[in-house]
Amino acid sequence: MYIAIKELYKCFKHLNHHFFGGQLPEPTITIQTKGKRNAFGWCSAVEFWKNQDESVKKYEINITAEDLDRGVIEVMQTLLHEMIHLYNVVNGVKDSSRNGNFHNKKFKSAAERFGMTYENKEADKHYGWAFPVLAPATIELIETLNINEKAFELARRVPKTVKKSNSYKLQCPICGIKLRATKPGIVVICKTCGVELIEY
């Protein structure tokens, strides 16, 4: 993960210089789990990162750990997307609503100004202009940076847990009567057949 962070900072520096004249404040770049968010990344609207006396404050740009292995171009596309949010934040431009999900025309305008384009010329009814892609010239620029591709081969993979049932199915081996028990190892005798029910 350290290598990926290093490469993200390198790309941030170059994109900041090329598109924003080096005017964007350097954020703290993190790789964290997406949790319940449906996003490849995010940019904080406030300066979350501070030293103890708050003389140093930084915004946060995060790339989600589960999506880190999408490839250099795709990850840098997310980085530039979040840099555009950062540009709008520091310039007092409200570019999204609905908890940051719906991207308005102000975001679209900035995206097209700063190295991105839209394949779909219509806004998504749920997410607005949230899906710009890198313009061809921007891809060419990123390819000149010699980003270490191995830094983006791993992603966070957590196995899904299967919830165990709190009940146990028991059945009489003779008459076939069934019931459920909530305690493991419980002994139940079939009143009709006089035999112990077995788990199935």
Full-model pTM: 0.79
Q: Tens place of pLDDT for every residue, the chain, 200 residues?
A: 789 999 999 999 999 999 999 999 999 999 999 988 889 999 999 999 999 999 999 999 999 999 999 999 999 999 999 999 999 999 999 999 988 889 999 999 999 999 999 999 899 999 999 999 999 999 999 999 999 999 999 999 988 765 566 777 878 777 778 878 777 767 787 777 777 777 77
In this prediction, residue 79 carries a pLDDT of 98
H-state helical runs in 21-114: 72-90, 105-113
Counting beta carbons within 10 angstroms of the beta carbon of residue 137, is it exposed (0 to 12), middle (13 to 18) or buried (19 or more)? Answer: exposed
The tens digit of pLDDT for each residue in 54-86 reads: 999 999 999 999 999 999 999 999 999 999 999
CA-based nearest residue to 87, from 99, 79, 97? 79
> Residue 156: how many CB atoms within 10 A of its CB?
15
Give the pLDDT confidence score for residue 102 in this predicted structure.
Answer: 95
Q: Give the list of residues 6+ apart from residue 33 with CB closer than 8 angstroms, or none.
A: 64, 65, 66, 156
Contact 124, 96 (CB under 8 A): no
The confidence score (pLDDT) of residue 186 equals: 74
